[in-house]
């Protein structure tokens, strides 16, 4: 399969590896290079990081850390119940149970390789397998729970390296009229918004509908509906059915999306070359903003020590010289240091009055944050963002 490299973002650490010290020994770095697969149109990292280095019992991300996400999962659970009336549901990547907990009255099973998270949902009496999703695991779950009406997976399939096995295992676990719902960041939106921070160790792939269609065919799955979401700066919710299931009609959202992607040039290497050029320019302009503010001796902090921000900070070499500390609401990140750039992270307790600028690490929650930080904005505080282009908001 022909792979073409189009952007080298340099050396990067494990984004989930929030450090206990600002002088770590032997911090792991890998080369973050982006690849376009000519045949399938998949976009992926060149070097995959070993899964156990990323997904382990120290995994920091809590899906329920954001109010926006909590609401989104509750609404989706209600929608699925109403629309599909499932008697069984499996979630791949159930995190802290933010979604699967709404299905306690039916056969609900979670798969979550990070044991600290799997323990949380097990305590909620949701049977949770603290294992990576494989064909073998799908058979094990099948022998105990049978096949499923719904399989749901948000922000997880793009993390799994062997997509062939992943989709085959999903097909294997679905009832003949079962539905698989995938949610992952949209490649089209990442390219349009120049959010190169969608690329980091965990995101082995950033999917287009075009590529998903190409790679799921051989597993017996077919896309039948697509919904565009605002989550993670622009995601797609993609509904699959078995190819053999002819009772479900294919919605015109599928062709519409394929056409939109084609018109943007998702199938064209030149699109990625242009993206790469723009990313290099974006880095230059972001550094300029930080340098200018620093010259004015103003205080800059970071807001939301997200995984995405790790790509920006390490790529642009923005470290303690520029950002004094990060504020973050996730308790497990507080008191630690950002991977690679070693910026201290403090527990969020409002933005202190001496802060002039806050770099929006969690730019995808801009609306939620702007509402919450009205006082900061009203007293002249400003946010810095790099999406879609570096600027002070």
Which residues of this protein are in contact with ligand TMP, per CB under 6 A?
Answer: 61, 65-66, 304-307, 328-330, 333, 348, 362, 364-365, 368-369, 372
Cβ 55 to ligand TMP, closest distance in Å?
A: 14
Helix (H, G, I), strand (E, B) or coil at 312: helix
CB of 309 to ligand TMP, least distance (A): 9
Question: Phi and psi for 36 in degrees, rounded to 5?
Answer: -110, 125
Cα atoms found within 13 Å of the Cα of residue 8, Cβ hemisphere only: 5
C-beta of 294 vs 366, nearer to ligand TMP: 366
β-bridge mates for residue 91, sequence order: 110, 152
Cβ at position 336, least distance to ligand TMP in Å: 11
DSSP-based three-state secondary structure for 37: strand
- Output the smallest distance, CB 220 to ligand TMP, in A: 32
Residue 246 in tokens:
């002819």
Sign of the C-alpha dihedral computed for residues 359, 192, 268 and 223 taken in this order: positive
Two structure tokens written together for 131: 């294992």
Minimum distance, C-beta of residue 3 to ligand TMP, in the bound complex (Å) = 27
Judge whether 360 and 303 are in contact, CB under 8 Å. Answer: yes
Q: Which is nearer to ligand TMP, 13 or 220 (CB)?
A: 13
SS3 227: strand
Q: To the nearest whole angstrom, how small is the minimum distance from the Cβ of residue 190 to ligand TMP?
A: 14
**Packing angle of the helix pair 209-216, 163-173 (nearest 10 deg):** 70
Residues 6 or more apart whose CB falls under 8 angstroms from that of 351 comprise 301, 303, 327, 358, 373, 376, 381
Q: Based on the number of CB atoms within 10 Å of its own CB, is 37 exposed (0-12), middle (13-18) or buried (19 or more)?
A: middle
The answer to whether 360 and 369 are in contact (CB under 8 A) is yes
**Token pair belonging to 307:** 């995984």
* Residue 293 Cβ vs ligand TMP, minimum distance, rounded to whole Å: 21
Closer CB to ligand TMP, residue 63 or residue 170? 63
Q: Taking Cα atoms as reference points, which of 177, 180, 186 lies closest to residue 208?
A: 186
Nearer to ligand TMP, 168 or 333 (CB): 333
Q: Which of 70/251 has CB closer to ligand TMP? A: 70
Which is nearer to ligand TMP, 86 or 93 (by Cβ)? Answer: 93
Give the Cα separation of 357 and 376 in Å (integer): 9
Q: Which is nearer to ligand TMP, 65 or 92 (CB)?
A: 65
**Minimum separation from the CB atom of position 12 to ligand TMP (A):** 16
Handedness of CA 164, 167, 171, 177 (dihedral sign): negative
Q: How far is the CB of 365 from ligand TMP (least distance, A)?
A: 3
**Which residue blocks in the chain are alpha helix, DSSP H?**
51-54, 67-84, 115-123, 135-145, 163-173, 187-193, 209-216, 252-264, 269-295, 307-316, 366-372, 374-378
Tell me, what DSSP letter sits at residue 2? -
Of the two residues 61 and 213, which places its CB atom closer to ligand TMP in the complex? 61
* Backbone phi, psi, residue 340, to 5°: 80, -45
Considering beta carbons, is residue 193 or 333 the nearer one to ligand TMP?
Answer: 333
Rounded to a whole number of angstroms, the minimum distance from the CB of residue 315 to ligand TMP is 17
Identity of the residue, 133 or 326, whose beta carbon is nearer to ligand TMP in the bound complex: 326
Q: Are 336 and 19 in contact (CB under 8 A)?
A: yes
């Amino acid at each position: 399969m022909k792979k073409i490299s189009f952007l080298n973002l340099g050396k990067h650490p494990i984004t989930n590896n929030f450090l206990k010290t600002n002088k770590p020994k032997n911090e792991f770095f890998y080369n973050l290079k982006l690849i376009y697969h000519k045949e399938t149109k998949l976009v992926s990292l060149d070097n995959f990081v070993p899964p156990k280095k990323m997904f382990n019992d120290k995994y920091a991300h809590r899906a329920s850390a954001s109010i926006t996400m909590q609401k989104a999962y509750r609404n989706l659970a209600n929608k699925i119940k109403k629309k599909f009336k499932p008697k069984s549901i499996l979630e791949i990547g159930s995190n802290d149970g933010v979604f699967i907990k709404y299905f306690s009255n039916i056969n609900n099973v979670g798969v979550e390789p990070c044991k600290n998270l799997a323990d949380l949902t097990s305590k909620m009496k949701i049977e949770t397998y603290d294992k990576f999703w494989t064909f073998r695991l799908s058979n094990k779950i099948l022998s105990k729970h049978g096949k499923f009406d719904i399989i749901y997976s948000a922000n997880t399939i793009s993390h799994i390296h062997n997509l062939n096995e992943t989709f085959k295992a999903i097909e294997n676990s679905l009832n003949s009229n079962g539905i698989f719902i995938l949610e992952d960041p949209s490649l089209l939106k990442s390219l349009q918004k120049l959010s190169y921070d969608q690329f980091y160790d965990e995101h082995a792939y950033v999917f287009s509908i075009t590529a998903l269609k190409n790679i799921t065919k051989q597993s017996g799955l077919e896309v039948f509906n697509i919904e565009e979401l605002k989550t993670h700066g622009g995601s797609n919710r993609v509904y699959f059915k078995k190819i053999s299931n002819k009772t479900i009609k294919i919605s015109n959202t599928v062709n519409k999306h394929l056409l939109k992607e084609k018109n943007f040039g998702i199938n064209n290497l030149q699109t990625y070359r242009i993206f790469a050029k723009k990313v290099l320019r974006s880095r230059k302009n972001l550094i300029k903003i930080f340098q200018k503010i620093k010259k004015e001796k103003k205080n800059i902090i970071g807001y939301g020590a997200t995984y995405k921000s790790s790509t920006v900070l390490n790529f642009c070499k923005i470290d303690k010289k520029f950002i004094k500390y990060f504020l973050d609401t996730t308790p497990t990140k507080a008191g630690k240091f950002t991977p690679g750039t070693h910026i201290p992270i403090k527990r969020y307790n409002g933005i202190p009055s001496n802060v002039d600028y806050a770099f929006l690490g969690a730019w995808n929650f801009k609306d939620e944050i702007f509402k919450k930080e009205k006082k900061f904005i009203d007293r002249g505080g400003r946010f810095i963002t790099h999406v879609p282009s570096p600027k002070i908001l």
